[in-house]
Amino acid sequence: MLTSILIILFLAVIIGLVLGFSSVQFKVKGDPIIEKIDSILPQTQCGQCNYPGCKPYATAIAKGEADINQCPPGGEAGVRALAELMGVEYKPLNESHGTTKPKAIAFIDEDTCIGCTLCIQACPVDAILGAAKQMHTIIEKECTGCELCLPPCPVDCITMESIEENAENWKWKYPVYSISTSKTKVNH
C-alpha cells in the first residue's frame, strides 16, 4: 500500500519537474499561427484590409476578428491559402476592400516634386528617398505598390506604373488546347 503511494508520488514529482522545465525551456515565443498567416500575406502593407499592415491583419485573423477575404493584393490564391491554413471554407474576395490589380510600382515625376516629404512619411517600407525641399525618388526594388504615397502628395506628382512583361520576367503560359470531340475511327 505505502510503496504504491510512494511510487505514484515519485512519478508525479518527476513528471512535474520535466513538464515545468520544458514549459520554461521550450516556450514558444509569439503566436506561431500569426507568423504562418503573415507569411501567406503579400506584405504590401497597403492597409486595404482596414488594418494598419499585414501583421495586424494576420493577428486579427488569428483572433477571429477579421475575415480571410479582405486582402486584394493577395488575390484569390491568397484567400485559398488562408482558407486551407485556417481550415475554413473558401470565399470570394470581399470587393468592398478593393479589387486585385496587376503589380505596379510608384513613380515620382521629379520635375513636379516640391520636396515636401509627406510621401516619405506615408511609405510603409521606407522605399522613398529624399529630404525636405530636395527632390524625392522611389527605390524601385523596395516599392510594394501599396499606393499609400498617392493621397498625401500635394502636387499629385506620383503615378502608379504597372510592371510590364519583359524577356526577364516572362513566364510560360498555361497550355491551352481543345480536347478532340470528333469521333475517330478505331480499327479493330
Partner 1 sequence: MKLLDKIFKFNGGIQTNPKKDISTKNSIKCLPIPSELRLPLRQHIGNMPKLKVKVGDQVLKGELIAEADGNISAAIHAPTSGKIKSVEKLLIPHPSGLPDFCVTLIPDNKDQWIKKAPVNWKKLGIEKTIKLLLNSGIVGLGGAAFPSHLKLGNNRNSPINTLIINAAECEPYITCDDMLMRERGNDLIKGIKLVQSLLGAKQTIIGIEDNKPEAYKIISDLIIKESSVHIKVVPTIYPSGDAKRLIFLINGIKISKEKRSSEYGIQMFNVATIVAIYRFIVHGEASLSRIVTITGNIKEPRNYEVLFGTPLQSLIQDTGGQKIRNNTFIMGGPMMGFKLPSIDVSVTKTMNCVISAEPEMIEAKKEPLPCIRCAKCAEACPVLLQPQELFWFSKSDQFEKAQNYNLFDCIECGCCSYVCPSNIPLVQFYRYAKSEIIAQSIAKEEADIARERNDFRILRLEREKKERAERNAQRKAENTSEEKSKLIEEKRAEIAAAMNRIKDNEKIK
Name the one range near partner 1 by CB under 8 A: 8-16, 24-32, 151-159, 172-180: 172-180
C-alpha grid cell, residue 28: 514558444
CA distances from 39 to 7, 9, 42, 100, 117 (A): 48, 46, 8, 19, 31
Number of residues that bind partner 1 (CB under 8 A): 30
- Residue type at 174 in one-letter notation: Y
Residue closer to partner 1 by CB (options 22, 121) is: 121
**Per CB under 8 A, 38 contacts partner 1:** yes
Residue closer to partner 1 by CB (options 3, 178) is: 178
Q: Which of 27, 133, 171, 183 binds partner 1 (CB under 8 A)?
A: 171
Mapped onto helix, strand or coil, the DSSP state of residue 67 is coil
Q: Which of 170, 183, 186, 187 binds partner 1 (CB under 8 A)?
A: 170
DSSP-derived secondary structure for 13-39: HHHHHHHHHHHHHTPPPS-HHHHHHHH
- Minimum Å gap between C-beta 30 and partner 1 is 13
**Per CB under 8 A, 59 contacts partner 1:** no
CA distances from 160 to 29, 120, 136, 138 (A): 39, 16, 15, 11
- Residue type at 65 in one-letter notation: E
**Per CB under 8 A, 169 contacts partner 1:** yes
Residues 26-64 as b/e (b if ≥16 CB within 10 A, e otherwise) read eeeeeeeebeebbebbbbbbbbbbebebbbbbbbbbbee
Name the one range near partner 1 by CB under 8 A: 8-16, 86-94, 109-117, 124-132: 124-132
**Per CB under 8 A, 37 contacts partner 1:** no
Residue closer to partner 1 by CB (options 26, 174) is: 174
Interface residues with partner 1 (CB under 8 A) are 38, 41-45, 53-55, 124-127, 142, 144, 165-175, 177-180
